[in-house]
Structure 1
Amino acid sequence: MAALLWLPWNSVLADEKNGELDIYFIDVEGGAATLLVTPAGESILIDSGYPDYGGRDLNRIVRVVKEVAGRTRIDKAIVSHWHLDHYGNHAALVSKVPVTAFYDRGIPEDLPEDKGFPERIALYRAASQNKSTALSPGDKLPLKNAETGRRVPQLTAEVVTSSGKTIPNEGPANPFASEHVAKPEDTSDNARSLSLLFKLGDFAFLTCGDLTWNTEQRLMSPNNPIGQVDLFMVTHHGLDVSNNPVLVKAIEPIATVTCNGPTKGGMLPVLKTLEAIPTLKAQFQLHRNIKLGDDVQPPPHRIANSSDTAECKGHYIKASVSPDGKQFRIQVEGQQPELFETRLSK
């Protein structure tokens, strides 16, 4: 069948000449750090994990950027929201890897939930030279596209939520809208997370930072303005204050990746929500949840790290999308990649 004609994964380093979109989910122990290398060779880092811990997360990011993806710089560094496990290393990155441009949801005057915010945001302002770009719903991330001399799909990235606001609720009726059960309003910065929808031909990838339950509902009810996606980065590390079925079921992913830690995220209610999606072919996790039984989690070959933090090797998960956007592969570091067809290609 056509899915078997795509050439096997035969290169360790990212190579824009092959026209693929590569997405690396880097293990930062329950924070988030996602590196995209576009078909044109641009590098985009969304979030940067925790600071401190002997430079653990920073070093893991630098390893993937330089040694695995073969990049010499980060073209765009994006902050999904102002929590330490998401922007903890943005300031330190510039001493390890040049960063060309910074993007975020806008810098607030204060963040009452974090007493260390004034000091941390000062470091971020210094690293970005006070030139970060604030993104709003509906904005398109400026991206270069490969000049190959042949007709190929163009990569796009649209902001769908930012600072508690969403794109207009337009589109077909969401059949899962009635499944919403309101939770107490979240006043933390999680609810103001930046969400991005990437598309390459038939392929769609959604990442929502730590967006929480009621904001997810406002985005997706009564209509579905996003449509369906092929790859979904499970929101907020797989915590059940996020991942409202109104959103998760409506987008009908083919595969998911959860950026959890050994004791943070990957929660049973979220795993059950994912299991209820008929289109879902595979769930991947950065960590085995050591608090849950193995029978309710993805199989071992789809979990990058199985031990607790002290013994963790920091293995990453990589997705690669074919140049035409019709197929994608997902590989746990050290394992064989698995091949999937995008929904629109079938």
Structure 2
Amino acid sequence: GGWATVTVGSWPLLCGAVYYLLLLLLFGSSDWDDFTACERRLLIGLCCCMLVGIGLYDKFRPQPLTVHFIDVGQGDAALVVTPQRQTLLIDTGGLRGDYDTGSRIVLPYLRYLGICSLDMLLLSHGHHDHAGGAAAVAKNIPIRRLILPQEQPSADIQALLKNTKAQLIYAESGTNYSLGNTAIQIISAPVGSADSDANESSLIVRVVSADGSIVFTGDATETEELLAAGQIQPGQVLKVSHHGSNASSSMPFLAAVSPQLAVISVGAANSYGHPGSETLQRLAACGAQVRRTDQDGALKITFDGSQVKCYSYRYQKEFF
């Protein structure tokens, strides 16, 4: 049935201890303790209240705009959690061979956070390193809205569409969507032709709330960036296009976004030479702090007032 498995996310050690004590009180023999039946029932009630109280506190406590850049190797996957705890997954990674990033990386990450459904899934374009894990995600958790680029659907997107009942939206430049008080602005959504590279139809998206703003670029080309530079507003965080390729991240676009923090989602020792030295120089010239998933692992970024705080799973696991 639907309740055979319940996703609760990671628990503090105290919750784990209370949970196992509750199991002992419920199903253990009364011979092992000196409690009366009344005292036993009281302890069971206290354990239940503690677990429910901690769960409710975690569900309703104030939450800043948060973005997780998931380490999927040479690919992209990012999870945005809004202050109202609505969820937006942008790209799902994808590696060569039988290794499914959706079932082996993205889904476990979502479950660790206690996420059992997605309010929105957005794919920047259909290349395997961005859409390869989408079908597995859709097969295992419900998705309310699905935003796709205007291009011929790749095999990965076709597999996704077979596994979801989400409301299907094809992105158009200049349109906005909302998740509570958070806006998803489609800055650029080129229409791909049958013979064009999917990178040329990659979406450029700006996510903004009262807390802060993030710009996602997929694998947008320099040409697309230059066209978008006149329409885009600044973003405190930039997901660097095409894993830091020298063919993207043009200076006019970087100047328009003016990021405080630039994140490069890239595989360690990849064969493409990403990120390129020219891109790193341009990012340094625009004053952005650079963080990379190949060096830092997954990155968690929170917008706490006017501050942008970045934590690395490799070095600061206690913040995840």
- With the shorter chain as reference, the TM-score category is 0.7 to 0.9
CA deviations over 1:24-82 (Å, ceiling 9, x no partner):
00111111110111111111111111155433453111122110x22111221111111
Identity within the alignment, %: 21
Q: Aligned partner of 1:80: which letter?
A: S
Contact 1:28 1:57 (C-alpha < 8 Å) held by counterparts: no
**Are residues 1:70 and 2:110 paired?**
no
Equivalent positions of 1:95-114 (< 5 A) are 95-108=139-152
CA deviations over 1:122-147 (Å, ceiling 9, x no partner):
32221234842111111112312xxx
CA distance in 2, matches of 1:155, 1:101: 15
Contact 1:17 1:39 (C-alpha < 8 Å) held by counterparts: no
Larger radius of gyration: 2
**Are residues 1:48 and 2:57 paired?**
no
Q: Aligned partner of 2:249: which letter?
A: N
Question: How far off its partner does 1:245 sit?
Answer: 1.2
Find the counterpart in structure 2 of residue 139 from structure 1: 175
| Closer/same/farther in 2, CA of residues 16 and 241 from structure 1, 3 Å limit | farther
Question: How far off its partner does 1:120 sit?
Answer: 3.6
Q: Aligned partner of 1:122: which letter?
A: Q
Question: How far off its partner does 1:249 sit?
Answer: 2.7
Structure 1: unaligned runs, 5 residues or longer: 1-10, 111-116, 145-153, 166-185, 288-302, 305-314, 338-346
Contact 2:67 2:301 (C-alpha < 8 Å) held by counterparts: yes
Question: How far off its partner does 1:241 sit?
Answer: 1.4
CA distance in 1, matches of 2:211, 2:86: 20
Structure with more contact order per residue of length (Cα contacts < 8 Å, sep ≥ 6): 1
**Are residues 1:284 and 2:291 paired?**
yes
Superposed CA RMSD in Å reads: 2.6
Structure with the larger helix share? 2
Question: How far off its partner does 1:16 sit?
Answer: 5.8
> Please, which of 321, 331, 344 is the counterpart of residue 303 of structure 2?
321
Find the counterpart in structure 2 of residue 232 from structure 1: 238
TM (normalized to structure 1)? 0.68
Find the counterpart in structure 2 of residue 206 from structure 1: 215
Q: Aligned partner of 1:328: which letter?
A: V
Equivalent positions of 1:184-333 (< 5 A) are 187-201=196-210, 203-220=212-229, 224-262=230-268, 263=270, 264=272, 265-278=274-287, 280=288, 282-287=289-294, 303-304=295-296, 315-322=297-304, 325-333=305-313
Contact 2:151 2:198 (C-alpha < 8 Å) held by counterparts: no
> Please, which of 104, 122, 143 is the counterpart of residue 158 of structure 2?
122
| Closer/same/farther in 2, CA of residues 62 and 107 from structure 1, 3 Å limit | same
For residue 47 of structure 1, give the secondary structure of its aligned residue in structure 2: strand
**Are residues 1:155 and 2:170 paired?**
no
CA distance in 1, matches of 2:307, 2:315: 19
CA distance in 1, matches of 2:159, 2:240: 29
Question: How far off its partner does 1:155 sit?
Answer: 2.0
Q: Aligned partner of 1:228: which letter?
A: P
> Please, which of 88, 96, 105 is the counterpart of residue 60 of structure 1?
105
CA distance in 2, matches of 1:16, 1:225: 36
| Closer/same/farther in 2, CA of residues 130 and 227 from structure 1, 3 Å limit | closer
Find the counterpart in structure 1 of residue 123 from structure 2: 79
CA distance in 1, matches of 2:301, 2:171: 25
CA deviations over 1:2-35 (Å, ceiling 9, x no partner):
xxxxxxxxx9998563231110001111111101
CA distance in 2, matches of 1:261, 1:244: 22
| Closer/same/farther in 2, CA of residues 327 and 95 from structure 1, 3 Å limit | same
| Closer/same/farther in 2, CA of residues 96 and 266 from structure 1, 3 Å limit | same
| Closer/same/farther in 2, CA of residues 268 and 103 from structure 1, 3 Å limit | same
Contact 1:16 1:39 (C-alpha < 8 Å) held by counterparts: no
Question: How far off its partner does 1:187 sit?
Answer: 3.5
Q: Aligned partner of 1:284: which letter?
A: R
